[in-house]
Structure 1
């Protein structure tokens, strides 16, 4: 993945969109077989028998009716899931989405040219912002290279959502506004928003047809910083985006009724390219320990993050960087690709700007000053207090395992991602003494507007292997055989999910059809086996491979007694972020991470001793 190609003049970024295949609907019997296989590890014989009976009844009864209706829907829509998924997975949520749904991650630039150094925030920041603007230009001109799986083009639609996108709170459901246009489609907003010490500023990133150079961006940011450091802090309106959604929708309505000018100011934030957060924190960070930086990207100062914005680029005071993103418009890989691009460009230019220092006569940044009354100021204070209280419960670690990485696992003929996933199953089993239902993100981007599918990694084979590892009477050879079986099963399931043959989204579709038709919820979904195996968003381990680059990420656990585990795999190391809630007595992110590192050692050791 080093020296990736980002630019192409051979083909246009979105040229294959309309020729991508529709998202398929799996057959009912296939999905139900896979579901039964997935619940098996969590049930005893009697419980399994009961669930099997429920599944059979569903298959030959209401399931058949729902499947027929789902197939009808799929005839009319190229992606039968898209709208449902956006609503059910994201926009219907009423809890604070900035805390519980957004994802964040550290910039990796400290690993080469930019170790933490006070006083470099704006000097480095203007270079990062310039690269982001160049990337926006690539998408605008459709020169961003089309992603492929083998020869097959993948869906690129999510890249339209990176810039000029914002979620708008609603009383019962939020909505998503996207103002991005390619050059051939017409005008696209080109202004940036800067949040600093509770204040909001804006300036245009394009002047007379050309994007601002790093020295010009430096001038704009230095002006904002100087003003904010010499004048009182602002009210911190952005903190309202971190609140409960209905509450924020009501407050936003009150704010726009207070003065019509306020709506215009909000719209400028919503339509902006992205948000720049000038953060006074100086988080410690090394290539082996990103904990402090990652934690601040995820749960830092809410007055300088616009929680509904598709992209907040965070510039810390010591020249380290991070991102915080609303999850509804796109999945993390979009940001990973952008940050890999920035990383590569910084390396190419040795972390310096080598172009002209000339600064054109561009307009100074403008402050967006909202009309607020005491009620509004009280709401902002309350939002800040609630946010602090909620995020103080998050435990997060982000460490590098440096004994080996994908070079060695591949040499042993083992898929690196599967290697980490099975290591995680073993780590959880050792720490908790029982299985953890686990969700790994699989991509369905080979289909039109495809996003993700759930891959349930706690298989019967993985469980057998974990048990063998803790059974002192089991030989190394037997353990290795069990491990290879678990690998084969995992790899087969991942392929199925990527080919549109997963079952979680399919079952969700059937449930939503039942709800839309006003039918009672089928017993399949109320059966304890459904929840116990992770269904309905109850996965104890919520996990994702962030990729094979230097870009890491993080999100919070899916449930209170769960973990969030996000990892990236390099040739010589595996970098893991693990999150848990402190108020849950049985989970411990630090311990799970340590156990995972030990499990990875045990697994590679097993491959050595069992003479492959």
Structure 2
């Protein structure tokens, strides 16, 4: 696996290119001077220091990125950073149906455990992008992984081991009606079967439905990080048994969430499952756990994950495996119904006092106040998809990104600084780089689309230029030639050396173009499968925009905050759908 590479100090070219759409001539001139000064002065010195760092590490960014992007954050990461998405089973084997929750959960969980088994045996196929082999390290983090809150910085506890590395925790945690249960997925050396999982989950559900609700301790994970870290310490001081329970949750394979909601869902409208998956009942989600598998009362399901240990594509690979197996078995268990005499689930009963009970109440209140401000839609555009876009010799991902640029321009009358995730897994422990989709080429094309005097031929030419630019940027980013992570590295090395923050980073152009986590459009392609997912907007006046592209349709999840009067997720999503049609029409009209 290639070492993570560090490009040359091409700041001037890169910065000028990405800030231009957001500045007037005078501002642009000023920024160019700042960039020039940076490149010939402190930037050169910082770049040398970064090269020194890169010599001693196979990935110069890895620990920095984990800390800055995730572990140093003090906001509620459960709300602002976690990611999730609905299971697509409603489209084939499992339409919404009351009374199926436990049966479907048992089958789904069994296939997930089989994937864990493959991973332990190192039999999961190595992924590739074209000829390039992709780093598989993130897959270790899917199981037995949990974020642990710290007063100033969180940490990640990862307890997964392959068979050759040794013993690996094999228990599951189940959250139901404010209570916490655990049971082992292995009994006498063999994995539990769906009928055995069914027995365990039924036991938990019956107890929870016939006895009072538990305290809902999981809601504390939705707190701001320092607050949660302090409460966790308080819990441990209250009773050492609480630490044993917390560690049992941290080490578990993953968390199973039995949720009483029954979200409406159709293949064309996943809005409610997605919304509840991301922002549902906080007493049945462990916000710090790498993977929460949520099963709703009507048999639909969702995934909910902490983003720190891995990016969405590792999760999607696992979920695609599970979906494939469920389709192959027509959503049924076709093996033996025999149930061994396995130990019943154990309830983890935390010692709580009045302070903890009132803090749980406070956490829930803050959580519901924040998530009630969320506007989220998850719709399918069904007129066409990848097949037709490819037929037009256009890249499907770029097609969606340019439609989004045009839609934002139509809705807001200005360009929208945009973050698109590029995967850097061609490199050792690679994660992501930023593709800045709002290029001058995209802006010129958007203007032509809104200019009644522009001809279709002219518009098509500009569209092809915008496509070429975006495709070139994607390739650069995937090959370690991006610009945002490099800029971050230069800033962090300055901070490490106790140097003042260079002027480049406090220039208005840096923020206006999205730098420092200020992207108005936070976007990602979640691949070309039936699986889709999302996270929430990066800034208060922004959008979260996530999409999966299939042969015959494009699914979009778009979110915004209701408290921002100028954003509207529903309107932006519908406008993007219209822009898809406009772009297709353009390719037809220009040929006439």
Q: TM-score, normalised by structure 1?
A: 0.96
Matched, 1:23 2:10: no
Q: State the alpha-carbon separation in 2 of the partners of residues 371 and 431 from structure 1.
A: 52
Matched, 1:96 2:72: no
Instruction: Write the mapping of 1:37-436 to structure 2, written as runs, cut at 5 A.
Output: 37-436=17-416
Aligned equivalent of 2:451:
471
Q: Please, which of 435, 438, 442 is the counterpart of residue 422 of structure 2? A: 442
Aligned equivalent of 1:8:
none
Q: State the alpha-carbon separation in 2 of the partners of residues 468 and 151 from structure 1.
A: 38
The answer to whether the 8 A contact 2:542-2:560 is kept is yes
The answer to whether the 8 A contact 1:199-1:235 is kept is yes
Q: State the alpha-carbon separation in 1 of the partners of residues 16 and 206 from structure 2.
A: 62
Q: State the alpha-carbon separation in 2 of the partners of residues 32 and 71 from structure 1.
A: 19
Deviation of 1:32 (Å): 3.0
Deviation of 1:31 (Å): 3.6
Aligned equivalent of 1:500:
480
Q: Secondary structure at the match of 1:286?
A: coil
Q: State the alpha-carbon separation in 2 of the partners of residues 610 and 490 from structure 1.
A: 21
Unaligned runs of 5+ in 2: none
Q: State the alpha-carbon separation in 2 of the partners of residues 575 and 389 from structure 1.
A: 28
Aligned equivalent of 2:559:
579
Q: Secondary structure at the match of 2:526?
A: strand
The answer to whether the 8 A contact 2:381-2:553 is kept is yes
Q: Secondary structure at the match of 1:547?
A: coil
Q: State the alpha-carbon separation in 2 of the partners of residues 38 and 438 from structure 1.
A: 10
Q: State the alpha-carbon separation in 2 of the partners of residues 31 and 287 from structure 1.
A: 45
The answer to whether the 8 A contact 1:32-1:503 is kept is no
Deviation of 1:358 (Å): 0.5
The answer to whether the 8 A contact 1:476-1:610 is kept is yes
Deviation of 1:36 (Å): 1.1
Deviation of 1:583 (Å): 0.2
Matched, 1:532 2:512: yes
Q: State the alpha-carbon separation in 2 of the partners of residues 504 and 469 from structure 1.
A: 29
Aligned equivalent of 1:15:
none
The answer to whether the 8 A contact 1:31-1:502 is kept is no
Unaligned runs of 5+ in 1: 1-19
The answer to whether the 8 A contact 1:104-1:323 is kept is yes
Aligned equivalent of 2:522:
542
The answer to whether the 8 A contact 1:407-1:571 is kept is yes
Deviation of 1:152 (Å): 2.1
Q: State the alpha-carbon separation in 1 of the partners of residues 128 and 381 from structure 2.
A: 30
Q: State the alpha-carbon separation in 1 of the partners of residues 90 and 107 from structure 2.
A: 14
Q: State the alpha-carbon separation in 1 of the partners of residues 314 and 457 from structure 2.
A: 42
Deviation of 1:599 (Å): 0.3
Please list every run of at least 4 consecutive aligned residues from structure 1 whose deviation after the TM superposition is greater than 4 angstroms: none
The answer to whether the 8 A contact 2:442-2:463 is kept is yes
Q: Secondary structure at the match of 1:600?
A: helix
Q: TM-score, normalised by structure 2?
A: 1.00
The answer to whether the 8 A contact 2:12-2:32 is kept is no
Aligned equivalent of 1:606:
586
- Provide the aligned length of Structure 1 versus Structure 2: 592
Q: State the alpha-carbon separation in 2 of the partners of residues 33 and 87 from structure 1.
A: 28
1:199-258 CA distance string (max 9 Å, x none): 000000011111100000000000000000000000000000000100000000000000
Q: State the alpha-carbon separation in 2 of the partners of residues 32 and 116 from structure 1.
A: 54
Deviation of 1:104 (Å): 1.0
C-alpha RMSD of matched pairs (Å) = 0.6
Deviation of 1:428 (Å): 0.3
1:538-583 CA distance string (max 9 Å, x none): 0000000000000010110000000000000000000000000000
The answer to whether the 8 A contact 1:31-1:506 is kept is no
1:338-375 CA distance string (max 9 Å, x none): 11111111110011000010101100000000111111
Q: State the alpha-carbon separation in 2 of the partners of residues 251 and 428 from structure 1.
A: 42
The answer to whether the 8 A contact 2:287-2:305 is kept is yes
Deviation of 1:34 (Å): 1.4
Q: Secondary structure at the match of 2:399?
A: helix
The answer to whether the 8 A contact 1:104-1:298 is kept is yes
Matched, 1:455 2:435: yes
Q: State the alpha-carbon separation in 1 of the partners of residues 93 and 136 from structure 2.
A: 31
Q: State the alpha-carbon separation in 1 of the partners of residues 317 and 261 from structure 2.
A: 26
1:407-446 CA distance string (max 9 Å, x none): 0000000000000000000000000011100000001000
